[in-house]
Every structure is written in C-alpha cells, then in structure tokens.
Amino acid sequence: MRYTLNYLLNSGFIKKEDSEKLNTAHLNKPFSIYWHVRLVLYLGVTLLSGGLGTIIYKNIDSIGHITIVTLIGLLSLSALLYCYKKAPLFSVEKTEAPNPWLDYILLLGVTSFLTFEGYLQYQYDIFGTRYGLATIIPALFLFYLSYRFDHLGVLTMAITLFASWMGIAFTPKELMAANDFSELSLVSTGLSLSALLAVTGYFHSQKNIKAHFTFTYYNFALHLGAIATWGATVSFDYGWVWMALLIPIVGLGYLYSMKENSFYFLLISAIYGYIGVSYWFVQVLVLTDELFMMYLLFFYFIVSAVFGLRFLRKAHKKMTAL
Amino acid sequence: MIGYDRQKRANYFHFDEIGKWKKQGWISDAEYRMLDEKLMPRYDSTNFFIRIGLFLLTTVILSAGIGFGGLLVSGIISNSNAWFFCLMAAGGCITVLQKIVIEERNQFRSGMDDAALYGGLQFIFLAFFLLLEDIFFNDPLMISVFCFFFFLVPTRIYLDRLLTAITVFSAYAIFFFALDKLDGLWAAPFLMMAVSAIFYVASKKAIDNTKGLAHEECWWVVKWIAIVMFYAAGNCFVVIELSVELLGIADSSAVPFKWLFYIFTVLVPAAYIYFGLQKKHLALLNIGLLAVAVSVFSIRYYHNYVPIELILIIGGLFLIAIAWLALRYWKTDRKGITIKPDEVADQLIVESLIIDQTLGVQDAPSGFEGGGGKFGGGGASGEF
C-alpha cells in the first residue's frame, strides 16, 4: 500500500492530497476478524455436536441415555426456536443474518436434530423399516430450513441427504471414492439427479427465488454429471459413446461461467472437457502401432494443451474485459 | 536477461493494489482507468482459478515435450550420460520460461511461468543428483546446505514464494543437522526458536524497508514460517516425541526442561492471539488460532484423564462462548477492529462445502453417524 502510494506520488500519477486521502482511508480501515469469529464458532459447533454424538454412541445401552437424548432434542429445538425469533422473515431475495452468530446456532440446531432423529430411528424405529423415510424427511426439513434462514451450509447438507436418499454418497470427498458407477442403475440415478439439480438451479435464477442458491445447485450438478459419465465410460462396453454426454454438461458449465463470470466454473468445465477429449483421442490412438502411437500421443498432448492454454486465456480476457 | 522485468513486475503489483482501492471505493472508476493506462507496461493479471488451469496445461505440455525428446534419445541414454539429458530438459524448460512465457506472452504469476520454472528446477536438481550422488548425497547436513544454495539462487532471481519457503526450510535443516553433528540436539528447540526469532526480525526489517512488492511477499513467507516454527519448536508434543526418537530417551517423562515446553505450549498461542489483535497482525492471529487447537491436542496426548466426548463438549462450549463474547464486544467497531467482512460472497460457498464435508450425514438409513462420527480436521479437506 505505502509502496504503491509512494510510487504513484513520485511518478506524478496522483496528486499529493489524493495520496494523503488514500493513506488516511487505509489507516482508518478497520481490521476485519469476521472470518476468525466464524471459524471459532464453526469449530465450536463441530466439536460440540461431535461430543454429543459420541456421548450417545457410548451410552446407547446404559440407563442415563434417555436424559441425554432428551437434552439433545431440547438443544435442537431451542436453537431452532431462537433462530425463528431472531432471524429476518423469509424472503425470496437474499436475506442477511443480523450477525454470524445466528448462522451457527442454526447449524447447531440442525446437527443436533440429525443426531436426535438418527437416535430415534435406531432405538425406536420410528420410521420402521422404511429407511427411505428416515432420510427423506430430514432432507426435506433441512431444505425448508435452508430456505427459511437463507443458509448455504444447510442447503448443501440437504442436497447431500437428498442424494443419499437416492443412493449416492455425495460429500466432496466421497463423490469419487464411495460410489461405484459401474452399475447402470447408479449411473442413471446420478445423471437424473444431476439433471434435476441443474433444472432446480435454473429455476431459481430464472424466477429470481433465492437466486444465489443457483451456484450451489449447478456446482453439484456439474460434478455429479461429469463423474457419473466418467464412471459409465470406463466401465461399460462402448464407453466412449457415454462420454458424449459430457458435451452438454461441459457446454452448459461453460455457458454459465461466461454468463456469471465464474472462473471456477470455467476451470472445472475445461478440466472435465479436456479429460473427455483426451480419452477419445487415446482410445483411437491405441489402435495404431505401439512406438508410433507414443509419438502421436505426446504430439497430441502438446497440441491439445496449447489449444487449452489459448482457450483459457481468451476466456479470461473476455470475462475481465467488462 | 534472466528473470522478470522489474518495471513490468512492479506495475503488475501496483495495478493489483489499485484494484483493491477501487473495490474499497477509495478511488473512482475514472481514476482507476487513468491509473490503469499510466501503469504500463506490465505483466498480465490472472485469476486464481485460471492460474490453476494454466499451470496444469503447461505441465502437460512440458511433460509431453520432454517425453517426446526422451523417446527420440531413448536409444543412446544410459546411466552415465543421463545427467546431460536432464540438463537439456532443464535448459528447454528455462528457455520456454524466459523466451516464450515471460518475454513473448508477458506472463507473471499466471501458472505458466510457475510450471516452467518448477519443471526446469526439477531437472537441474535431478542432474546434480545423478552427478553428485556418491559424493555427498548421503549426509543430511550436506544435502541441506546444497538445497539451501540450490534454491536460494532461483529465489533471488524469480522471487517465487514457494521457492522462498523451500529455501527457508533448508536453512532450518542446516541448523538442525549441524547441531546433530555437534551432539547438541538437546538444545535444538532453543536454537530453532532463536533462528525463528532472527528470521522474524529480519523479515520485519525487510518488509519495513520494502524494495518492491515481489520482495515483500517473499519476506512475508519467511515471516509466516518463522511464526509457525517458533511455536512448533517449543510445542511439548514435538519436543517430547523428537527427544524420544532422536536422543534415545526411553521414558518421555525424563525429557529435560519438560515443564518449560508445557509453558511454551500454553503461552505462545495466547501471546500470538493477543499481539495479533493488538498489532492487527493477520499472520499472528491466524497462526495463534490454529496453535490453540494444536496445543489442546498436544497436551491431551499426555494427559488424557478426561474422556474425549467431554473434551469435545467443553471445548465446543468454550469456543462458542469465546465467539459470543467477541461478537458482543465488537458490536460496534472498537480499537480499529471490526467483525464485519471485507468481502464475503465467494467464501461462503467454500464454507458451505466444508460444512458438508465435516458435518455431512452420509450414513443416512441408520442416520446415526450424523454429527457423531465426523468431527475435527478443521475442514481442511474441502475440495473446492
């Protein structure tokens, strides 16, 4: 700051009084600990709900556990009631919580609700053997809460729960590891869920209902769609035909990135697209003679990556030109 | 000429800086556009995500190019001349970096130059390794000294932050292994703390008399590492475990000055947070917060009378209480500190993914793992 200011002043690009004005603005700018407070709150909620979960888990067969479970239920209820009392009313626009505190109280309410509900199902079989109900009901409840209180974290949890109701493990870490996309049923579930999420996201932005949720829906849709396609490609006969499904997925991702100036979507679409195209080329190239193929392969990667570089830089220029 | 053009690089940083001023509303659009034209010539600016993409693609190009070359010479390459081909590859990378990426394409910190630079260094290192393997690559002290000078040179030329970090860690390694040679490892924590203090003071001086923002950012890396290492060197877990491992002390209760390290483990994070807030020092505050978590687990490792769930609950309540107090205290801005965000929108999405990762509920049919199984980790694994 000071260095740039001195340079601009010494080169005569700005006037003395402007420089002083900027310097005071810089010195008066308060130091923001917003993210620190959020992190501490987040860690607090995580530890607390982890501790409560562990306590139930360890005491599941002992006498005192009814008390503990009741306490957790009450904790959840009071946290949610508190949110109802303090949070702004529902609006289709983005609503701001009056302070970070409320976001995390909601999170605490949600996690303790899930622990509570899970316990009831485990101990008393409230949903009987209809395990689906035990997932979809909390998922719907979480969807409701995320819209009511405008909370992206709860929305993400709700989508994850909803996906697990459909049979797909859907946290960022497990998307690749825990799903076996070599079964047709799982692939078609993944693709239809992806399409559903994309349509939902589109609906939100189009009707201007919580338009800022669109990103989250699209993000899940893009990753799930691409990975399901990839799984189908590597495990089925004529897999390369499945890869054609990437074209609409990546294309839509690209269009969205251009529309919203989202560099993240641009990068992700480009990576999935590049993997898809390379897969096709490699499939064709392995048909040729071995040594010749190696040369062609290296040649392909050089040329394609040069095109990739050009594409990314052009897109970047286009997006920053505004 | 090797390295970046000074004027272009300086303007790159100045342009970055005035972008921030514009976001803060300190300068008008017209003023911004005027300065934009004045700050020419400069290297192109890149976005973080684009940078990742360019880095990956450049790595693909260089790997394929070197693979292509390797295929051509695969008939004549052998153990005795491999170092020469490594140098050729390195020369190729550095030429691409200087001639194409920097001069022709005008790139600085765009991912392309990073990829070419790291690729080139990798091959030079490999060449040295192949040549000198038998002479000194079996002595940790010699390796550290070699690494220090090997990375110091490109750090000075290109002012790259990752290379700075490697150089600083090599310097720490030199002190550590030198102490080992002198049979003085018991003093290692104190020496490491002293070295960190020296690095801290040096970086502070360098940042105060800044010679340009590229230099300054490298010195910031030194400063962060110094702060982290100062804490780590005095942390009771690190000291006790390393003492058992390296000094051959069989019983962890016989570690010399043990009580002193417990005091360090408690006091250093508290001091970091206090001074971080007082001096508005972001690095101290961030590392202080992390250090608190590390300290809790370090001490608990040796004193686990209290069951884990109680620790979690008490710790959780404690953290929530602290945050509550902070929120009350800073309802209005005080002492130049605010709880209002600088910029929010994008980071909230990252946060939502971290929440999903750490509090997520996968085992839904029994639903029981919900919140119970997955805690801790601080959510560092979010793959945003």
The verdict on a CB contact (< 8 Å) between B371 and A112 is: yes
Same domain for A305 and A228, yes or no, is yes
- Closest to A47 (Cβ–Cβ): which among B52, B315, B348? B315
Residue B325 contacts A, CB cutoff 8 Å: no
Count of structural domains within chain B: 2
- Which residues in chain B are closer than 8 Å to A156, comparing Cβ atoms? 352-353, 355-356
How many domains does chain A fold into? Answer: 2
Tell me if chain A has a CB within 8 Å of the CB of B47: yes
Confidence (pTM): 0.84
Q: What pLDDT is recorded for position B194?
A: 93
Domain end among A116, A151, A186: A151
B111-134: pLDDT as tens digits = 899 999 999 999 999 998 888 877
Nearest CA in chain A to B18: A4
Res B167: pLDDT: 95
B176/B171 Cα distance (integer angstroms): 9
A1 near B CB under 8 A: yes
User: What's the pLDDT score for residue A176?
Assistant: 63
- Confidence band of B184 (pLDDT split at 50, 70, 90): confident
- Residue B90 placed within a domain: no
Please report the residues numbered 123 through 182 in chain B whose beta carbons come closer than 8 angstroms to any beta carbon of chain A.
Answer: none
- Answer yes or no: is B128 within a domain: no
> Does residue B318 sit at the A interface (CB-CB below 8 Å)?
yes
| Pick from A267, A298, A306: CB nearest B71 | A298
* B186 pLDDT above the threshold of 60: yes
Tell if the CB–CB gap between A35 and B347 is shorter than 8 Å. yes
Q: How confident is the model at residue B363 (pLDDT cuts 50, 70, 90)?
A: very low
Task: Tell me whether B338 touches chain A (CB under 8 Å).
Answer: yes
Q: Is residue A10 part of a domain?
A: no
SS3 sequence of B209-233? CCCCHHHHHHHHHHHHHHHHHHHHH
Q: In this complex, do B57 and A312 lie within 8 Å of one another by their Cβ atoms? A: yes
Written in H, E and C, the secondary structure of chain B is CCCCCHHHHHHHHHHHHHHHHHHHCCCCHHHHHHHHHHCCCCCECCCHHHHHHHHHHHHHHHHHHHHHHHHHCCCCCCCCCHHHHHHHHHHHHHHHHHHHHHHHCCECCCCHHHHHHHHHHHHHHHHHHHHHHHHHCCCHHHHHHHHHHHHHHHHHHHCCHHHHHHHHHHHHHHHHHHHHHCCCHHHHHHHHHHHHHHHHHHHHHHHHCCCCHHHHHHHHHHHHHHHHHHHHHHCHHHHHHHHHHHHCCCCHHHCCCHHHHHHHHHHHHHHHHHHHHHCCCHHHHHHHHHHHHHHHHHHHHHCCCCCHHHHHHHHHHHHHHHHHHHHHHCCCCECCEECCCCCCHHHHHHHHHHHHHHHCCCCCCCCCCCCCCCCCHHHCCCCC
- Is A228 found in the same domain as A263? yes
Please check whether residue B312 touches A, CB under 8 A.
Answer: yes
In a domain, B223, yes or no: yes
Residue in B42, B105, B295, B309 to test binding to A, most A beta-carbons within 10 Å: B309
Strand, helix or coil for residue A32: strand
Interface test with A, best of B352, B354, B381 (most A CBs within 10 A): B352
Please indicate whether, in this complex, the C-beta atoms of A216 and B352 are within 8 angstroms of each other: yes
CB contact under 8 A, B379 and A42: yes
Question: Which residues 211-240 in chain B show a CB within 8 A of chain A?
Answer: 212-213, 216
Least confident range of B77-86, B174-183, B333-342, B367-376 = B367-376
pLDDT band for position B382 (cuts 50, 70, 90): very low
Last residue in a domain, options B214, B234, B254: B234
A184-to-A174, A233, B345 alpha-carbon distances in Å: 19, 11, 38
pLDDT at B379: 30
On whether the CB atoms of residues A227 and A175 are closer than 8 A, the answer is yes
In a domain, B305, yes or no: no
A215 reaches B (C-beta below 8 A): yes
**A158 inside domain:** no
pLDDT of residue B164: 94
Query: Chain B contact for A126, CB < 8 A?
Result: no
By mean pLDDT, which of A237-241, A315-319, B61-65, B210-214 is the weakest?
A237-241
Same-domain pairing of A136 and A185: no
Could you tell me if B306 lies within 8 Å of chain A, comparing CB atoms? no
Q: Are residues A94 and A175 in the same domain?
A: no
The whole-number pLDDT of residue B367 equals 31
Domain boundary (A106, A126, A151) is at A151
Pick the last residue of a domain from B215, B234, B253. B234
DSSP annotation of A30 reads: P
Whether A286 contacts A293, CB under 8 Å = yes
Rounded distance, CA A135 to CA A197, Å? 18
On whether any CB of chain B is under 8 Å from the CB of A124, the answer is: no
Average pLDDT over residues B198-221: 89
A207 contact partners, CB below 8 Å, separation of at least 6 = none
Residue A114: which of B333, B361, B378 has the nearest Cβ?
Answer: B361
In sequence order, what are the beta bridge partners of B107? B44
By Cβ distance, the residue of A100, A212, A305 closest to B61 is: A305
How wide is the angle at C-alpha B128 spanned by C-alphas B123 and B129, nearest 5°?
90
Residue B270 maps to a domain: no
Q: How many CB pairs under 8 A join A and B?
A: 319
Is residue B303 within 8 angstroms of chain A, CB to CB? no
At residue B380, does pLDDT exceed 50?
A: no
Rounded distance between C-alpha atoms, residue A219 and residue A153, angstroms: 14
Q: Which of B21, B335, B359 to mutate to test the interface with A (most CBs of A within 10 A)?
A: B359
Interface pTM, i.e. ipTM: 0.85
Closest CB from B289, B311, B345 relative to A39 = B289
Mean residue pLDDT across chain B: 81
**Interchain contact A253–B (C-beta under 8 A):** no
Identify the pLDDT of residue B346: 54
Q: Which of residues B187, B206, B234 is at a domain's end?
A: B234
B366 touches chain A (CB under 8 A): yes
Half-sphere exposure of A287 (CA within 13 A, CB side): 4
The confidence score (pLDDT) of residue B125 equals 92
Are residue A296 and residue A172 in the same domain, yes or no?
yes
Which residues of chain A does B63 touch, with a Cβ-Cβ cutoff of 8 Å? 301
> Is the same domain home to A96 and A225?
no
- Tell whether A65 and A129 lie within a shared domain: yes
Q: Does B384 touch chain A (CB under 8 A)?
A: yes
Percent of chain B with pLDDT over 90: 24
Given A124, A151, A178, the domain boundary residue is: A151
Residue numbers of the domain that contains B375: 349-384
Q: Is residue A105 part of a domain?
A: yes
Residues A322, A176 share a domain? yes
Residue A35 lies in a domain: yes
Contacts of residue B310, defined as CB under 8 A and 6 or more positions apart, other chains included, come to A51
Contact across the interface for A122 and B366, Cβ inside 8 Å:
yes
Do A172 and A126 belong together in one domain?
no
Residues A171 and A289 in one domain: yes
C-alpha to C-alpha distance for A237 and A258, rounded to whole angstroms: 35
What pLDDT shows up at residue B361? Answer: 47
**Are A144 and A94 in the same domain?**
yes
Range of the domain at A107: 31-151
φ, ψ (nearest 5 deg) of residue B251 = -110, 125
Is residue A9 included in any domain, yes or no? no
Q: Which of A40, A55, A308 sits opposite B57 (nearest CB)?
A: A308
The answer on A189 and A143 residing in a single domain is no
Beta carbons of A50 and B375 less than 8 Å apart: yes
Regions in chain A scoring below 70 on pLDDT:
60-61, 63-64, 125-126, 128-131, 170-180, 322
SS3 sequence of A99-113: CHHHHHHHHHHHHHH
**pLDDT over threshold 70, residue B384:** no
DSSP letter assigned to residue A93: S
pLDDT tens, residue by residue, A5-29: 888 888 778 777 777 778 787 777 7
Q: How confident is the model at residue B54 (pLDDT cuts 50, 70, 90)?
A: very high
Domain-embedded: residue B72? no
pLDDT band, very low/low/confident/very high, at B375 (cuts 50, 70, 90): very low
Query: What confidence score (pLDDT) does residue B211 get?
Result: 79
Residue B69 included in any domain: no
